[in-house]
Amino acid sequence: MTYPVSGEALRYVRDQARMSQTQLAKAMGTVASVLSKLEKLDEVEAELAQRYLNAVDTPLAREALDHYGRNWRRSTPPSFLHPDREALWLFDIAARDLDVFEAERKDPILRGHIDLLRLGDIGVGKTTALSHAVGLLVGDGRSGRRPAFPVGPGRTTVCETAIRVGPYGVLVDPMEEEQVVRLARDLVASLAPDAAGIAVPAELARLIRAMADMKVTSRVDGDEVVTIDPIADLLASGVGIAEVADRVVAGMNLSDRTERQLIQAEGSEDGLTWISRLVSAINSGTDPRFSVPTRITVLMPSPQASNIAADFKKATGINVDLQTLSWDTATVWSRPAG
């Protein structure tokens, strides 16, 4: 047997065998007081624990011997008392098989760069899961750790998000101005009384409204909650679709939204916190320097990216090629639904 065993696990095996400490001590050639101390230890060294379990000699004792005698990939196996110990062993086997698979990688397709696309229903937690998997979390222990990238109940992420090595910063690929104008007109047309326009994805509609300062708000009037929609109200007042669309576009100030990249100044706040706030503002349309993004690339220093690669490997079993990463190849993707 390779690993130490907790005294609690040993006592459990003995109790299930309905053996007293005196009976077991006799079988082991010792005294009950020794076993009493043994069963109170956090760890009993492997050789002594093996003698103990061999002396109990029940099917459960043999299961414990097998559990601690396995070649676990992790440094310390889970306790024999863990309710999912067999499932954890299957995970361990799968991870070891994956190591062998990665070491071989004979198929040429496995030697190059691979983009990972996560698919799931709206609001299922694609961005949240990625943030936790790679350690992209901000906040302290008192207020709780939260994803660095914008997350919500769904329809939150407006574009692809990638990670590259570099000084803390953000690169934004903006949508062509003609396409932004078209989206604004489609949004207005979809709100017209006859609703003949093309529906705009909720996350983009929210972004356009924020950029144009035409968000939907609500207020309490007596016992009723009244919704205020500046665009719908203009249409209801008789203003034509084309004119309302022009007002929306004018409110977006596209001529001022020409920024494409920002690099964090040295000596300022925590880099990941700065990135989190900036990406959230770009994603929500509240940063007046940026237009509608089609892709956001987050830059992080090599040590931070290395930590992300290690966390991603730990969470998924998949290696991230840092050499590829250093050559401006995105390694972690977050795509919006649709």
pLDDT tier at 49, thresholds 50, 70, 90 = very high
pLDDT tens digits, one per residue of 136-178: 676 655 555 666 665 544 456 788 777 777 888 999 999 999 9
Phi-psi region of 331 (alpha: psi -120 to 50; beta: other; left: phi over 0): alpha
pLDDT tens digits, one per residue of 15-48: 999 999 999 999 999 899 988 998 998 888 999 9
The pLDDT mean for the chain works out to: 80
Q: Is 107's pLDDT higher than 70?
A: no
Q: What is the spatial distance between Cα 175 and Cα 54, in angstroms, rounded to a whole number?
A: 70
CATH of 7-103, one of 3.40.1280.10, 1.10.260.40, 3.30.1240.10, 1.10.10.60: 1.10.260.40
| Beta pairing, strands 169-174 & 293-300 | antiparallel
**Parts of the chain belonging to CATH 1.10.260.40:** 7-103
pLDDT of residue 328: 29
- Closest of 72, 79, 89 to residue 42, by C-alpha: 79
The answer, as to whether pTM is greater than 0.75, is: no
pLDDT of residue 331: 35
- Closest of 80, 90, 278 to residue 169, by C-alpha: 278
> Rounded to whole angstroms, what are the CA distances from 311 to 71, 259, 273?
23, 32, 19
pLDDT tens digits, one per residue of 230-285: 999 999 999 999 999 999 999 999 999 999 999 988 766 777 888 888 988 998 89
DSSP 57-123: -SHHHHHHHHHHHS--SSSSPPPTT-TTHHHHHHHHHHHHHHHHHHHH--SGGGTS---------TT
Q: Is 301's pLDDT higher than 80?
A: no
Q: Is 73's pLDDT higher than 70?
A: yes
pLDDT of residue 88: 87
Q: What is the spatial distance between Cα 49 and Cα 65, in angstroms, rounded to a whole number?
A: 9
Residue bearing the bigger pLDDT, 72 or 118: 72
Q: Which residue has the tokens 């925590």?
A: 270
pLDDT of residue 275: 85
Q: Is 54's pLDDT higher than 80?
A: yes
